[in-house]
Amino acid sequence: MLAFGGGAFHDVDVLQAETDMACFVLVHGGGHGGWCYAKVAALLRAAGHDVYTPTLTGLGERKHLLTVDTDLSTHVADIVNTLVYEDLRDVLLVGHSYGGMVITGVADRAPERIRELVYLDAAHPRDGESLVDTAPQAMAFARASARIVDGIELAMWPTEEMIAAMGCHDPADVALLRARMMPHPWKAFEERLRFVNGEAAARLPRTNVNCSASLQHSSPDDRARQCDGHRNVEIDTGHDLMITEPRRVADILLDVAGS
C-alpha cells in the first residue's frame, strides 16, 4: 500500500515496520564469539529487527587481537564502542554467561543508549565483583586446564569436558563448539567490575533467562540475583541456550521487544 503526497511516495507498511523495529546487541560468553548467535540472529532479523553480534577482542575472528592487556575492561569498551560508532540507541542489550559481566559494565558506562538488559544464563555482578567472585566453582573448572601462551594466561580450553559443560547434545552443535570455541584470557575473568555511574545500570529494566540446571545448583544469593528481573524465565536446557534452544530464546527476545 502506497501513500502519495507532495510528489513523493512512502510505503506505509515499510514505515510501520521501521517504527516497530527493535535493535538487539547480542554479547557472547567466555570462549565463544558472535558466531554462537547465528540461529537467534537469523530469527530476529526475519522478524524485521536490527541485530548486532559483535565478537569480543581476542576471540573468534578477532583472536589475532589478543594481548597480555586484554581484560574485562577491553570487552566492555568493545561493546560501548559498538553502540557509539554504530550510533545505536534504545538498545536491547543481551549477554550470555560471562557476557553478563560485559553488559553490566556497558550499562554502567552508557545507560542512555540502552532500553533493557537481558541476561541469558549469565553473571549478575555487583560493583567490585569479578566473574571469579560470582561463579567460583565454574571458574575453578575453567582454570584447571589453563596454559600460558605468549605470556598470556588462557583458561577455558575447549576440551571435551568443557564442551560437555556447555550442555549441547546435538552432534551438529557439538561439532560447532569443537570447531569454534577458543580459550579465554583469564585476566578478563578475574578483573573486578567497577561502576563509574553509581546505580545507573541497576535502574534499567532487566529480563533474566535462566537454565534449569543453573538454578538448581545456585546458592540462595545467586538465585536471588538470577531472579531479580522485571521478567524471569526458566528454560530446561543446557548452558548454551542460544544454540540448543534458538527459537525459544528468539521468542523471549521478541516478547521483550514488543513490551
Catalytic residue among 97, 130, 212, 259: 97
Could you tell me where the DSSP H helices lie in 125-167?
Answer: 131-134, 136-143, 160-165
Contact 91, 83 (CB under 8 A): yes
73 is catalytic: no
CB hemisphere CA count around 45 (13 angstroms): 11
User: Residue 234 — φ and ψ, nearest 5°?
Assistant: -115, 135
Whats the size of the chain, residue-wise? Answer: 259
Q: Which amino acid is at 15?
A: L
Residues linked to residue 25 through DSSP beta bridges, in sequence order: 52, 93
Per-residue exposure over 170-189, b if at least 16 CB sit within 10 Å of its own CB, e if not = eeebbebbeebbbbbbbbbb
Contact 215, 119 (CB under 8 A): no
Q: Which three cell numbers stand for residue 62?
A: 578477532
User: Residue 195 — φ and ψ, nearest 5°?
Assistant: -75, 145
- Dump strand ranges (E) for the chain: 2-5, 8-11, 23-27, 50-52, 91-96, 114-120, 147-149, 152-155, 184-185, 206-211, 231-235
Q: Using CA atoms, how far apart are residues 227 and 254, in angstroms rounded to an integer?
A: 20
Q: Which three cell numbers stand for residue 254?
A: 521478541
Q: Using CA atoms, how far apart are residues 173 and 154, in angstroms rounded to an integer?
A: 23
Which amino acids are annotated catalytic? 97
